[in-house]
Amino acid sequence: MNDLHRLTIHEAHALLKDKKVSSVELTRSVLKNLEAVDSKVRACMRLTADTALESAAAADKAIARGKASVLTGVPMIIKDNMCTKGVTTTCGSKMLENFIPPYDAHVVEKLKAANAVIVAKANMDEFAMGSSTENSAFFTTHNPWKLDCVPGGSSGGSAASVAADETIYALGSDTGGSIRQPAGFCGVVGLKPTYGRVSRFGLVAFASSLDQIGPITKDVTDCAIVLNAIAGHDKRDSTTVPLGVPDYTRALTKDIRGLRVGVPREYLVEGMQPGVRKAIEAAIIQFEKLGAKVDRKVSLPNTRYGLAAYYILAPSEASANLARYDGVKYGYSYRDTTSMWEAMEKTRQFGFGAEVKRRIMLGTYALSAGYYDAYYLKAQKVRTLIRQDFDKAFDSCDVLVTPTSPTVAFKIGEKADDPVQMYLSDVCTLPINIAGVPGVSIPAGFADGLPVGLQFIGKHFGEETLLRAAHAYEQATPWHTMKPAIA
């Protein structure tokens, strides 16, 4: 059978379960396509082809024994900031270029337990700081729809690999939009779950109170399938919530009649591309056709402080989280000196890239004596206000809909020297992390030949309603079936 790599999880599972194809065949097809297109897309940091075929063979045995879960034998890719035992985990940084974790992240454990087939680790912006994957210390990933454009970031490698059918699905992490924005740019589905829904154990920390792992998939059904597998309480992550995990696929009823859909006016921002606006307007009409009640008067007034608050909170936490990289214990280590302090300073000077150092300095400054109240504390207050905005909006709405990003994918190099322009790419996604609520980006058309992402926002632990709305829209539109011609 040809083109197995183009399958979704649920399609692949149906064939595997009925033994119409084997996991080894499926994995070979995925690897073959990956090898054909990744020289152009450059989504993968490291291939794990050998172990992938071993896992596939093991998965086939499990299937033969009738012990197949929906992810068994299905190839996938992991962002390179999730620890994989025995497999280099670089975080897109020279600092961890040769770091081989002695343990698996919680999500990796769960996937391995389900006999998933890991085919590669995905490229990313260094320490997940960036919106274009240009901040990877190693190479830039290209957008499969237009190779001279960025795939978004920081999970650009994960999103591009799914869009290019180099994998059936991928995992990303999202601190301010790092799953949703690249999913939007690459025309795939990307979910940031509620903070506390998925364990962060083994996810190399960027901003601990904002980071969350989530799926990047070819459709909403797959998104629900992967969330089923990775969600849940983990005693090693005290911020996970001991709530049961429902079967999210059962929420996908296609029926959204009477669903209250809010369109917060602050998210139809200035500087939004006309093509993006057009796609959003069309989506709103589609919702009305599906019987949803659209409310265009919803307001989240403190959204305008979101970007500023985010760039205090995230760098502050990052400044502490990245303090451990001092060249003493693991990773890059500058040794050409006899002074301990110089060795530590030079390690960080040469081991980190410019954006990482910028954020460490921002955060260090914001937490310093005399500045703490004006910056960090103030930003925490804004965080409370933003959260209250969402709580209030959800009094009258079941889900909110916004563009994922004000623009479609931009050209490689276009914003690389302008950090603030780059930060603005996440202006619609980062308030969702600040509030801790779930958000999903799904394909909603094209502008200038590039995908437009539509973001759905749900209540805390309201993933079921969120995915139901996204799924109903997806099933009524053709966007998720479209594939890039990579050239």
Partner 1 sequence: MKHQCDTDILSGVVKYETVIGLEVHSQLLTVSKMYCSCSADYASTPPNTHVCPVCMGLPGVLPTINRRAVEFTVMTALALNCSIPEHAKFDRKNYPYPDLMKGYQISQYDKPMSVNGYLVIDIEGRKKKVGITRVHLEEDVAKLLHRTTPEGESYSLVDINRAGMPLMEIVSEPDMNSPEEARLYLVKLRSILQYLGVSTGNMEEGSFRCDANISIRPEGSKEFLGKVEVKNMNSFRAVYRALEFEEKRQREVLDTGGRITQETRGWVDEKGITVSQRSKEYAHDYRYFPEPDLPPLAFSREMVEQVRAALPELPEAKYDRFVSGYSLTPYDAGLLTDSRPLANYFEECVGLAGKSGGEKDIAKKAKTISNWLLGDFTRLLNSSNTRIEASNIKPWHLVEMFDLVDRGTLSGPLAKTVFEEMFSSGKTASAVVAERGLVQISDSGELAIIVDKVIADNDKAIADYRAGKEASLTFLIGQVMKASRGKANPAVVRKIIVDKLGGN
| Nearest-angstrom CA–CA distance, 376 and 424 | 20
Query: Is residue 473 a contact residue for partner 1 (CB under 8 A)?
Result: no
89 scored as a contact of partner 1 (CB under 8 A): yes
Choice between 5 and 200, CB closer to partner 1 = 200
Tokens of 313: 């909170």
Is the dihedral angle over the CA atoms 292, 296, 299, 304 positive or is it negative? positive
Q: Is 201 in the site for partner 1 (CB under 8 A)?
A: yes
Binding of residue 157 to partner 1 (CB under 8 A) = no
Nearest distance in Å: CB 52, partner 1: 22
Angstrom distances, CA of residue 295 to CA of 264, 265, 389, 400: 8, 10, 16, 9
Binding mask 33-72 for partner 1 (x = CB under 8 A): ----------------------------------------
Of the pair 101, 130, the CB lying nearest partner 1 is at: 101
Nearest to partner 1 of 187, 202 (CB atom): 202
333 binds partner 1, rule: CB under 8 A: no
Least Cα distance to 116 among 54, 160, 173 occurs for 54
In whole angstroms, the minimum distance from the beta carbon of 134 to partner 1 comes to 22
Q: Which stretch binds partner 1 (CB under 8 A): 1-9, 229-237, 392-400, 422-430?
A: 229-237
How far, CA to CA in Å, does 142 sit from each of 27, 28, 258, 306? Answer: 23, 23, 41, 29
**Three-state DSSP state, 374:** helix
Report CA-CA distances (Å) from 2 to 7, 30, 164, 167. 10, 10, 16, 15
Q: Which of 270, 369, 420, 487 binds partner 1 (CB under 8 A)?
A: 369
Amino acid identity, residue 446? Answer: F
DSSP state of 127: G
Reading across the β-sheet that carries 75-79, which strands appear in turn? 44-47, 117-122, 75-79, 169-174, 212-217, 189-192, 439-447, 450-457, 399-403, 260-262, 293-295
Question: Does 475 participate in binding partner 1 (rule CB under 8 A)?
Answer: no
100 sits near partner 1 (criterion: CB under 8 A): no
Q: Which residues bind partner 1 (CB under 8 A)?
A: 81-83, 89, 91, 96, 99, 101-103, 105, 200-205, 207-209, 235-239, 316-317, 319-320, 322-326, 328-330, 340, 344, 364, 367-369, 372, 376
The catalytic residue positions are 79, 154, 178
